Structure 1
Amino acid sequence: MRRLFLHINVSIDGYITDPAGDIDWRFADEEFQTHMDGVLESIDGMVFGRTSFEQLAAYWPTAGEEVSSTQRRRMHELPKYVMSRTLRDTEWHNSHPLGDDPATALKDLKRRDGRGLALFAGGQAATAAIRLGVLDELRLLINPALLGGGTPLFNGTYPQQDLRLTDTRRFTSGALLNTYDINGRH
């Protein structure tokens, strides 16, 4: 059974965007780019919320030399699943709206053979995945920044979850990648 993990940048005070909605405060050095290449090579699909999907779909098909060739290739070829009840059609290659019942669709995807699925972006999607009980792991890339406001990582109600820290990686930038298993799912 494949695992669904959240991989997301977050400030120390728990925000994924600053008050203006920007993400330029997060670090993105060569060490991080190499890490992201490895993550993309290790998965069989990506999950996004609708807003994040639309923003990424506007960028990635024409991404240039500012990203690695691995990232350009994998962002094109990997299946992209969108947690949205309103999005029906997508133009980004290999994209699939999950429809009216994302919990069942994600559980079906997880039952397939293969490598993990990454939920990369969207606070609402992350909160929904926890609420729906489909998220197995959190990979929080904690950036050394205090934003004082913005989009919170988790917003809304969801059941209490017990987390177990399974790994920590320190980047030269001072960012920490903390990996947590949810409710002992391993």
Structure 2
Amino acid sequence: MRRLFLHINVSLDGYIATPSGDIDWRFADQEFQDHIDALLESIDGMVFGRTAFEQLAGYWPTAGDEVSATQRRRMHELPKYLLSHEPAGVEWHNSHWLGDDPAKALSELKRQDGRDIALFAGGQAAVSAIRLGILDQVRLVVNPALLGGGTRLFDGAYSEADLKLTGSHHFTSGALLLTYDLTG
């Protein structure tokens, strides 16, 4: 059975975006870009919340040389799943709305053969995945930055969960990748 994992950048004070919604504050050196290339090659699908989906659907189809060829190719070809209460335009290549019962849809996807599925963006989507009991792992890229405000990663109500640290990686930028498995 494949896993659904959250992979997201977060500031040291727990924010994923500035008050204006900007995510360009995160560290993204070549080592991190290589990590993202390898990550995209290792998965069979991506899940996004509505806001992130709409932002990324406006960017990736026309992305140029500012991103790697691997990122352009994989962001185009990988299945993209929208975790939202309502359907949205899913014109972005290979995009799918998870429907009225996203827990069931994602559970079915997890039971299929293949590689893991990544939940890449959206604080609300992350909380929803925890609340629905479908998230298996959390991969936080903790950036050496204090934003002082903005969009919190885990903002909302969800059940208490125990996590087990199963991996860590120190990037030369000072960012840390912390991998936790949900244990309960």
Match of 2:144 in 1: 144
* Cα distance in 1 between the residues matched to 2:51 and 2:21: 12
* Cα distance in 2 between the residues matched to 1:68 and 1:82: 24
Asked if residue 174 in structure 1 is aligned to residue 174 in structure 2, the reply is: yes
C-alpha deviation, 1:67, in angstroms: 0.2
Tell me which amino acid in the other structure corresponds to 2:27. Answer: F
C-alpha deviation, 1:87, in angstroms: 1.9
Residue 66 of structure 2 aligns to a residue whose secondary structure is coil
Q: Give structure 1 stretches of 5+ with no counterpart.
A: none
Residue 65 of structure 1 aligns to a residue whose secondary structure is coil
Deviations along 1:66-119, whole A, 9 cap, x unmatched?
A: 000000000000000000121244110000000111111010100000000000
Match of 1:116 in 2: 116
Task: Report matched runs for 1:34-73 at 5 Å.
Answer: 34-73=34-73
Residue 8 of structure 1 aligns to a residue whose secondary structure is strand
* Cα distance in 2 between the residues matched to 1:144 and 1:46: 26
Deviations along 1:38-90, whole A, 9 cap, x unmatched?
A: 00000000000011000000000000000000000000000000001212441
Match of 1:7 in 2: 7
The answer as to whether partners of 1:50 and 1:87 remain within 8 angstroms in 2 is no
Q: Normalising by structure 2, what TM-score?
A: 0.98
Q: Percent identity?
A: 73
Tell me which amino acid in the other structure corresponds to 2:91. Answer: E
Match of 2:128 in 1: 128
Q: What do you get for the CA RMSD once the two structures are aligned?
A: 0.8
Deviations along 1:19-53, whole A, 9 cap, x unmatched?
A: 11111110111110000000000000000001100
Residue 19 of structure 1 aligns to a residue whose secondary structure is coil
Match of 2:183 in 1: 183
Residue 165 of structure 2 aligns to a residue whose secondary structure is strand
Residue 72 of structure 2 aligns to a residue whose secondary structure is helix
* Cα distance in 2 between the residues matched to 1:157 and 1:89: 28
* Cα distance in 2 between the residues matched to 1:135 and 1:90: 23
Give runs of ≥4 in structure 1 deviating > 4 Å.
Answer: none
Tell me which amino acid in the other structure corresponds to 2:104. Answer: T
